[in-house]
Amino acid sequence: MKTHILAIDQGTTGTTALVIDRTLRVIGRFTQEFTQHFPQPGFVEHDCDELLASVQTAIAGALRQAELEPTALAAIGITNQRETTIIWDRQTGRPIHRAIVWQDRRTAARCQDLKDAGHEALFRERTGLVLDPYFSGTKIAWLLDHVTGARSRAVAGELAFGTVDSFLVYRLTGGSVHVTDATNASRTLLLDLKSLTWDEDLCALLGVVPSLLPEVRGSSEVCGQTSGFPGLPDGLPIAGMAGDQQAALFGQACFEAGEAKCTFGTGAFLLMNTGDRPVASRHGLLTTVAWRLGGVTTYALEGSTFVAGAAVGWLRDGLGIIKSAADIEVLARQVPDTGGVYFVPALTGLGAPHWRPEARGLITGLTRGTTAAHLARATLEGIAYQTFDVLDAMQKDLNRPLTRLKVDGGASSNDLLMQFQADLLGVEIVRPAMLETTALGAACLAGLGVGLFEDLTAVSAAWQEDRRFERVMTPGEAACHLAGWQNAVRKA
């Protein structure tokens, strides 16, 4: 019996592939980064050939490290950056334009026009989302309107749209399968959240041709088999799919209503399981699909900040203050506090609960005594403040306090950040032994899809804890810090 799963985690800055056995032990891992393209301010794009090459390289590297032949794999699980938008030719599989990344803000004016026309309430009611350039719908329309001949070709049925999961499945199956899963579909501004069907009214408002859209499938089922993909045998089942944040919620074993996690990646993403019913937010959060298993849909509340680890990357690449992301904690610990400096990392606008795409980054409180260490510490604290704002809104929507938050993602390994986060929130922060819960969630979904795991209990049993962080700051001190942050946000 084949017992190994290939998890493909296709992210914003690169692709990670993991080979995981049925005990959820990682036996092979490889990451391949690729270039980010910024053709003009507010535009963020990926070259799809570079993206696919990173997937192939990561798969080969993970199998090589695992010392495993591809024919020994039982299934593939895919998790992906979510709202990133690709339109391609159905015959050739070739994209008509670079992928427009979730961080891209080029459609901000279009979103504002829709708001001014009074349409936001309808989108909120049907999709659980707000009108923001973050989501795929306005990106699809932009491609149709700005790529020569795209709209007429779409009407003729020659083109296909997909988020990254959909594009990968199309290419993995040799162009025979055009699907997406319910979690990714729920991020498009086009899906009715209750019926899980594409909404014709919303397509019309956005100018999206319905024939572009993929079939919506469950998160854990065989949706296709590999065919002609380099480095993989034909006939390998693709059995798990979920957007990266939903996959992380699953990988954190947050299977009960009220359980929550925060992933500190390029952005910071907080999701709470709300059970089998969507909870409408009154405080700027999103209502989304957590996963769909065996025909049953689980929902979640979500709040996202656009910049978290990306702020550390800016210190490294933009300012040259640090040489690697890991250096920031060492530098920040050289000072006991920020010296009154606040950094609002709105480098691509502010996400939940503010939803201000026009906002820009701000550093305030600088003096002649400010050093690189103060700025490093203010960057970490800025990430934690944004997360506090999201969790505060979530608690108000649920009308009850959280008692524990699970964390994952690269920046969750930063003890200084995690401690400050616990101090601000006043809740216990729990970090798992395996921080790559996004890929772990994809593997678990795939394992369930082919019967390697019997049920959710088997997945929960494998989850292991690394460390807990509890508040050491007084509530009064936390309130003082937060007052300074709120003043800085108003200026951004």
pLDDT of residue 457: 86
**Which residue matches tokens 């606008």?**
349
pLDDT of residue 281: 87
| CATH number for position 143 | 3.30.420.40
State pLDDT tens for residues 169-210: 999 999 999 999 999 999 999 999 999 999 999 999 999 999
Count CB neighbours of 277 within 10 A. 11
Decide if 369 is inside a domain: no
Decide if 112 is inside a domain: yes
Encoding tokens for residue 92? 């050739």
pLDDT of residue 127: 96
pLDDT of residue 79: 96
Enclosing domain of residue 68: 4-245
Decide if 159 is inside a domain: yes
pLDDT of residue 460: 82
State pLDDT tens for residues 407-434: 998 889 999 999 999 999 998 999 998 8
pLDDT of residue 125: 93
State pLDDT tens for residues 331-348: 999 999 999 999 999 888
What's the number of domains the chain is made of? 1
Give the C-alpha distances (Å, rounded to integers) separating 19 from 8, 27, 87: 9, 6, 30
Decide if 164 is inside a domain: yes
* pLDDT beneath 50, residues of the chain: none
pLDDT of residue 355: 76
Decide if 481 is inside a domain: no
Decide if 341 is inside a domain: no
State pLDDT tens for residues 87-103: 999 999 999 999 999 98
Decide if 210 is inside a domain: yes
Decide if 427 is inside a domain: no
pLDDT of residue 357: 77
Are 213 and 153 a contacting pair, CB within 8 Å? no
Q: DSSP letters along 381-420, please?
A: HHHHHHHHHHHHHHHHHHTS---EEEEESGGGG-HHHHHH
